[in-house]
Amino acid sequence: MAITPGMTAGGKAAPSSTGITKEERKVIFASSLGTVFEWYDFYLYGSLASIIAKQFFIGDPTTTFIFALMAFAAGFIVRPFGALVFGRLGDMIGRKYTFLITILIMGASTFLVGLLPSHASIGVAAPIILVTLRILQGLALGGEYGGAATYVAEHAPEGKRGLFTSYIQTTATIGLFLSLMVILGTRTAMGEDAFQAWGWRIPFLVSVILLGISVWIRMSMAESPAFAKMKAEGKTSKAPLSEAFLKPKNAKIAFLALAGLTMGQAVVWYTGQFYALFFLTKTLKMDEPTSNILVAIALALATPFFIFFGALSDKIGRKWIILGGCLIAAATYFPIFKAITHYGNPALERAIQTSPVVVVADPNTCHFQVDPTGTKKFPSSCDIATRLLTGASVSYTIQDAPAGTLASVKVGETTFQSFNAVMTPDNLNFDAASKAQETAFKGEVTGALKAAGYPDKADMSAVNKPMVVLFLFILVLYVTMVYGPIAAMLVEMFPTRIRYTSMSLPYHIGNGWFGGMLPTVTFALVAFKGDIYYGLWYPIIIALATVVIGGLFVRETKDNQIYAND
């Protein structure tokens, strides 16, 4: 077998005190660039969720946005299944060819989203096709990350796996940054009205160019030297799924990788990047172009720290950098998001403090208003009142009233009576009289909220942009702590013959389920509780659980020999 740069004759990565070689740079660049393009494709949907909600789903604004987020989450939910399918292929036939399959599926699915007719054109077929394409994207991404991380790690010299794989860790953030920049450029060039109507499709359509570049890059890559050696010796796994997850020792390691590492890493990642963007646009009602710019600046400033923490983990270990990031994030989320409100929409903060809003209602009439179909109505007086307040980004408390009491909204010293709506015969909408009552009630409450200082949207001239960027930067800095070393640590936890499969599943369950569901869960929690910060309890609890489990049961891996005979 030919000796590949960075390897000894025994198949182990050679220790290296020199810089990254030309061949090593090519491996990192080829793997990272293709993965950037995949993440760009995947995150376009999340960045445009509010527009997509209007194009493909029906219902009130709160329900359609939650439904759009659920479709976004669908791509994450299927990622573990993609990890199983493509991880198995990667461990049986090789890393390189699996790369090609995943990039083709991802690119084609994204391009088709840009061509998909809206709900107004083809009815219910539109959201069905959209969710199908999201599922295909998720399956492809489920096979992408494990392959990229494994491929780069198996080229890395001993003592530099954290550094080498940290470049892969930048790709998700760079992909998000690229998607935001393309959206912003398109939006600016054609104007907001045209962008909302049809221009949002352009970022999806231009992905076909990125697809062509990615395929060309993947075609030029050689197979991983560790896998090539193992295949030449006939040591590849014949049944990587059963070997990885049915053998108790390997299954235990996979579970600890999930609960003690990736679960917490995932919620910190998505809180710091996606939920922060949702919070700016949906809760603080800042305009989307400005919000995208501020998040993009924070991403650009923080991205080098992926490399920093990856390299640092080669020296001091990976475990406590990851768990430390989870712990610090959980301890500071509430003050950070309150500070973002203070600097991003001070009028809203002032109104919440000086003019508290109370909903007085029979608690049995207040429901958790999430409807995946986008057609169900919630006609109780409490639901009508709380839905109106949530849509206005108003924090409120619910005061229990006797059974049968009609809900009322108290703004300052003024009280407004809600009503129980009457449904149409098909039970899909309010009748005409109830619609008129809803319009009148909304007008009264909205007027009172405005008089009490609650803004319809953020005053962009009052936004302290440097301070908002500072706190967004801190959130992304937490992301770099938990994410920079994670690829190297996952690679080092599993043997070569089942590495692609073994590391992919816990990574994608953590990121696909616990992370991907974060926007939907947090938004729904806010709508249910009435506190604009209440959704933060989800990432805080998950991150703290990871700190406890990881701290007690996960071992440090930086000195593991990943080329040992296995």
> CA nearest 490: which of 508, 517, 516?
508
How high is the pLDDT of residue 239? 62
**Span 468-483, pLDDT tens digits:** 999 999 999 999 999 9
CA–CA gap between residue 408 and residue 418 (Å, rounded): 5
Confidence of residue 33 (pLDDT cuts 50, 70, 90): confident
Q: Is 50 exceeded by the pLDDT of residue 554?
A: yes
How high is the pLDDT of residue 4? 38
Average pLDDT of the chain?
83
How high is the pLDDT of residue 1? 33
3-state secondary structure 420-447: CCCECCCCCCECHHHHHHHHHHHHHHHH
Confidence of residue 17 (pLDDT cuts 50, 70, 90): very low
Confidence of residue 9 (pLDDT cuts 50, 70, 90): very low
**Span 138-175, pLDDT tens digits:** 888 777 777 778 778 877 888 888 998 898 888 877 88
Strands 357-361 and 396-400: parallel
Q: Where are the domains of the chain?
A: 22-345+460-553, 355-451
- CATH pick for 22-345+460-553 out of 3.40.1080.10, 2.40.50.100, 3.30.70.260, 1.20.1250.20: 1.20.1250.20
Contact 14, 7 (CB under 8 A): yes
CA–CA gap between residue 527 and residue 367 (Å, rounded): 10
Percent pLDDT > 90 in the chain is 34
Mean pLDDT to the nearest integer, 381-397: 87
Q: What tokens does 335 get?
A: 């003050």
Q: Is 80 exceeded by the pLDDT of residue 437?
A: yes
**Span 513-524, pLDDT tens digits:** 888 778 778 877
How high is the pLDDT of residue 81? 82
How high is the pLDDT of residue 233? 61
Our CA dihedral for 510, 514, 518, 522, rounded to 10 degrees, sits at -150
3-state secondary structure of 7: strand
Count Cβ neighbours within 10 Å for each residue of 362-398 and write b for 16 or more, e otherwise: beebbeebbbeebeebbbbbbbbbbbbbbbbbbbbeb
How high is the pLDDT of residue 16? 46
Higher pLDDT: 542 or 16? It is 542
Mean pLDDT to the nearest integer, 378-401: 88
Q: Is 50 exceeded by the pLDDT of residue 374?
A: no
How many secondary structure helices (H) and strands (E) does the chain include? Answer: 27, 4
The burial class, CB within 10 Å (0-12 / 13-18 / 19+), for 287 is middle
Statement: the pTM of the whole predicted model exceeds 0.85 = no
Confidence of residue 371 (pLDDT cuts 50, 70, 90): low
Q: Is 60 exceeded by the pLDDT of residue 12?
A: no
User: Domain 355-451 belongs to what architecture?
Assistant: 3-Layer(aba) Sandwich (3.40)
How high is the pLDDT of residue 238? 64
Q: Is 70 exceeded by the pLDDT of residue 485?
A: yes
Contact 71, 130 (CB under 8 A): yes
How high is the pLDDT of residue 230? 66
How high is the pLDDT of residue 73? 67
Confidence of residue 62 (pLDDT cuts 50, 70, 90): low
How high is the pLDDT of residue 553? 95
CA–CA gap between residue 298 and residue 472 (Å, rounded): 6
Contact 492, 231 (CB under 8 A): no
